[in-house]
Amino acid sequence: MADAKKTNKGPKIQLRDVHKAFGAKQVLRGVNLDVGEAESVVIIGGSGTGKSVTLKCILGLLQADKGSIKVAGEEVAGLESGPDRDRLNAKFGMLFQHAALFDSLRVWENVAFSLTAGHGMGRDQAREIAMKKMALVGLSSKVGDLYPAELSSGMQKRVGLARAIAPDPEIIFFDEPTTGLDPIMSDVINELIVTCVKEVGCSALSITHDMVSARRIGDRIAMLYQGKIIWAGPVNQIDRSGNEYVDQFINGRAEGPIEMLVRAL
């Protein structure tokens, strides 16, 4: 189903041989990844392997050193800030790993930000939409008038989520959407992401460490290890990937081919 759509319209996001280094430190060493129309792809991988960096390269917050990044067929690698980048970013919704809420604005102003600042919508109307989006992530309207610093980190995360989906983006990026949430709230958020993809028809690229969440929200899963995607496939094949790195990761075993840089006491 997802594959059929893909051949019709081509992938929504396509990464080819993307490299990124910070000084001498090579983080991405040739990432290849496709996200189809109305498809939800989940990136898994160890801490510090460059998952967030991958998203930031697509968003243009970091410039890839080498390789091609296409969004809806248009080459965007090397597209720095300017009207073209703004037009592109208007299609995107992004949830940052640490929420990145504007702490000088109230919660509802954060959620409505793209509506008031970007589209010049009136404050009353924007507030109404913001309240609806907040209800979707399980936040009551009372929270709307607080400031982000007055919320718990799990609540901040959900405000970030509401802000990301407020302008009804075509493509959403979620950097660890369920980290720091209790299991029930995690499930609400998983449900919300599934709804966005299945009913609204947007494409989603998420990062998570939470395998329960990955299985729930992903059509496909891709594993990042040492700067490359070492395995990618449909979510129902992850247990039969035949890749020992993937097996070790999804089962959370300390023993295996992935060596953690820790020494025994």
Partner 1 sequence: MNHPIEFVALIGRAFLGFLATAGRLVLFALEGTTHIFRPPFYFRLIRRQMVDIGYYSMPVVGMTGLFAGMVLALQSYTGFARFSAEGAVATVVVLSMTRELGPVLAGLMVAGRIGASMAAEIGTMRVTEQIDALTTLSTNPFKYLIAPRLLAGFTMLPFLVLTADIIGIFGGYVVSVYKLDFNAANYLKRSWEFLEFLDVFSGLVKASVFGFLVALMGCYHGFNSKRGAQGVGAATTNAVVSASILILIFNYIITELFFSK
Q: Is 6 left (phi over 0), alpha (psi -120 to 50) or beta?
A: alpha
Check if the beta carbon of residue 213 is closer than 8 Å to that of residue 221: no
Residue with token string 């299945």: 198
Distance from C-alpha of 175 to C-alpha of 49, rounded to nearest angstrom: 14
Q: Which residue is nearest to Mg ion (CB)?
A: 52
Could you say which residues in the range 86-145 bind ligand ATP, by CB under 6 A?
97
Cα separation values, 193 from 106, 115, 172, Å: 24, 21, 9
Which of 14, 52, 190, 206 lies at the binding interface for ligand ATP (CB under 6 A)?
A: 52
Distance from C-alpha of 161 to C-alpha of 48, rounded to nearest angstrom: 23
Which range, of 41-49, 81-89, 124-132, 248-256, touches ligand ATP by CB under 6 A?
A: 41-49
Q: Write down the least CB distance from residue 257 to partner 1, Å.
A: 32
Nearby residues of 183 by Cβ (< 8 Å), 6 or more positions away = none
Q: Write down the least CB distance from residue 254 to partner 1, Å.
A: 30
Q: Write down the least CB distance from residue 52 to Mg ion, Å.
A: 3
Which of 11, 50, 148, 167 lies at the binding interface for ligand ATP (CB under 6 A)?
A: 50
Q: Which is nearer to partner 1, 115 or 139 (CB)?
A: 115
By the rule CB under 8 A, 98 interacts with partner 1: yes
By the rule CB under 6 A, 47 interacts with ligand ATP: yes
Distance from C-alpha of 80 to C-alpha of 60, rounded to nearest angstrom: 7
Q: Which is nearer to ligand ATP, 96 or 108 (CB)?
A: 96
Residues that bind partner 1 (CB under 8 A): 56, 59-61, 81, 85-87, 89-90, 92-94, 96, 98, 100-104, 113-114, 117-118, 120, 163
Residues engaged in binding Mg ion (CB under 5 A): 52, 97
